[in-house]
Amino acid sequence: MGESEPDRVAALQAEVDQLKEALFSHAVVDQAIGMMVALGRVTPDQGWQVLKEVSQHTNIKLRHIAELILIWGRCGDIPAEISAELEDALDRYGPAQVPGTEGT
């Protein structure tokens, strides 16, 4: 026997909700990668690696790390542990100097 109409509608609504959540999560992570590119002067792939490393070293889900980075961008507040890990990861990937200041 097939699903009843209400069961099918409920299943489809649950799937839509999951897709919306995935889309939102993806947008948050992409925005945080963009911040790493702009502030850390890294490539998008390196920005992704930075987020992954911070997530792994702090045992905090990557999406939550991305959310904390976006809050930091808006408010200037970030937990010290996240800040330290972020700085370490960016040091591994980012340039030693701000572009255009070489030799000055």
Per-residue pLDDT of 22-47, as tens digits, reads 776 789 999 999 999 998 889 999 99
Q: Is-contact 29 65, C-beta < 8 A?
A: no
Tokens 């572009």 -> residue: 99
- Over residues 70-85, the mean pLDDT reads 91
Domain range for 15 is 5-93
Does residue 99 lie within any of the structural domains? Answer: no
| Full-model pTM | 0.71
Please say if the pLDDT value at position 12 is more than 80.
Answer: yes
As a residue count, the chain comes to: 104
Residue 62 lies in a domain: yes
Domain annotation covers residue 24? yes
Q: What is the DSSP letter of 78?
A: -
Q: What's the total number of domains in the chain?
A: 1
Give a yes or no: residue 102 inside a domain: no
68 domain-assigned: yes
98 within a domain of the structure (yes/no): no
Does the residue 59 lie in any domain? yes
Q: Establish if 13 belongs to a structural domain.
A: yes
